[in-house]
A and B are shown apart, each in its own frame.
Chain A
Amino acid sequence: MVTRREFVLSSGALAVAVSLPLGACRAVDDDFGPGFLTAYLEVAPDGRVTLHSPTTEMGQGTHTGHAVIIADELGVDLERVNVVTAEPADPFRRGGQMGSGGSWGVRYWYEPLRKASAQAREVLLAAAGVQWGVAPSELVLSRGEVVHEATRRRVGIGTLVAAASQLPVPDSPPLRPKSELRYTGRNVPRVDLGPKIRGEPVFSSDVERSGMVYACARLSPVFGAEVDGFDRDSAKRVPGVLDVVPIPGGAAVVAAHTWAAMRGAEALAIRFKPTPHDRLDSATISRQMRAGLGPDAKTIKAREDGDLQAAMKAARRVVEADYEVPYLAHAPMEPWNCTVEFNAESVLHIWAPVQTQDRNRNAAAAAAGMAPEKVRLHTTLLGGGFGRRLGSDGIAAAVLTAKAVKRPVKFFWRREDEFGQGWYRPAQVARMKAALDADGRVTGLHVRTAGPALSASFSPQGLPAGQIDGSSVQTIRESRYKPAAFHVEWVRVDQPVPMAPWRSVGASQNGYFLECFVDEVARAAGRDPYELRRELLAHDARALNVIDTAARSAGWGRSLPEGRARGMAFVESYGSLCAEVAEVSLKDGRPFVHRVVCALDCGSIVLPDGVRSQVEGGIVQGLSAALGEAVNIANGGADNRNFDTYPLLRMTQAPEKIEAIIIESGEAMGGVGEPSLPPIAPAVVNALLALTGKATRQLPISNQGFS
Chain B
Amino acid sequence: MRITLKVNGQPRQFDADPDLPLLWALRDFLGLKGAKYGCGIAACGACTVHVNGAARRACVVPVGSIGDAEVTTIEGLGGKHPVQQAWLEAQVPQCGYCQAGQIMQAAALLEQTPKPTPEEIRVGMNGVMCRCGTYPRIEAAVRRAAELMSTKGEG
Query: Which residues of A are in contact with B by a Cβ distance under 8 Å?
Result: 58-61, 189-190, 192-194, 196-203, 205-206, 208, 214, 239, 257-259, 262, 331-335, 381-386, 414-415, 609, 613, 616-621, 624, 642-644, 648-652, 654-658
> Does the CB pair A198–B74 fall under 8 Å?
yes
22 contacts between A and B (CB under 8 A): A59-B93, A59-B132, A193-B96, A198-B75, A199-B34, A199-B74, A199-B100, A199-B103, A258-B28, A331-B131, A381-B96, A383-B95, A384-B131, A384-B132, A386-B131, A414-B40, A415-B38, A617-B94, A617-B132, A620-B136, A621-B131, A654-B139
**Smallest CB-CB separation from B119: which chain A residue?**
A652
B129 CB-CB contact with A under 8 Å: yes
Chain B residue contacts of A194, Cβ below 8 A: 88
> Does the CB pair B122–A258 fall under 8 Å?
no
> Does the CB pair B41–A197 fall under 8 Å?
no
> Does the CB pair B33–A201 fall under 8 Å?
yes
**Smallest CB-CB separation from A610: which chain B residue?**
B91
A206 CA / B94 CA spacing, docked (Å)? 18
Query: Which residues of B are in contact with A by a Cβ distance under 8 Å?
Result: 17, 20-21, 24, 27-29, 31, 33-41, 43-44, 46, 73-75, 77, 79, 84, 87-88, 91-100, 103, 118, 121-123, 125-139
A318 CA / B129 CA spacing, docked (Å)? 44
Smallest CB separation, A556 vs chain B (Å): 22
Smallest CB separation, A292 vs chain B (Å): 31
> Does the CB pair A415–B39 fall under 8 Å?
yes
> Does the CB pair B39–A655 fall under 8 Å?
no
**A333-B98, A385-B95, A617-B134 provided; 9 other pairs, C-beta below 8 A?**
A189-B91, A193-B91, A194-B88, A198-B84, A214-B28, A332-B131, A333-B46, A651-B128, A654-B122
A619 CA / B130 CA spacing, docked (Å)? 13
A197 CA / B80 CA spacing, docked (Å)? 10
Provided the pairs A61-B94, A259-B21, A651-B139 are in contact, do residues A208 and B31 lie with their beta carbons within 8 angstroms?
yes
A197 CA / B100 CA spacing, docked (Å)? 6
Chain B residue contacts of A259, Cβ below 8 A: 20-21, 24, 28
How many pairs of A and B residues are in contact by the CB < 8 Å rule? 177
**Smallest CB-CB separation from B87: which chain A residue?**
A197
Smallest CB separation, B38 vs chain A (Å): 5
Interface centre among A189, A193, A414 (most CB of B within 10 A): A193
Chain A residue contacts of B36, Cβ below 8 A: 203, 205, 333-334, 383
A624 CA / B21 CA spacing, docked (Å)? 30
Interface centre among A58, A199, A208, A613 (most CB of B within 10 A): A199
A621 CA / B99 CA spacing, docked (Å)? 16
Provided the pairs A333-B36, A335-B38 are in contact, do residues A203 and B97 lie with their beta carbons within 8 angstroms?
yes
A205 CA / B87 CA spacing, docked (Å)? 23
Residue of B27, B96, B135, B136 near A202 (CB, 8 A) is B96
Provided the pairs A59-B93, A333-B36, A335-B37 are in contact, do residues A643 and B132 lie with their beta carbons within 8 angstroms?
no
> Does the CB pair A644–B40 fall under 8 Å?
no
Residue of B79, B88, B133, B139 near A618 (CB, 8 A) is B133
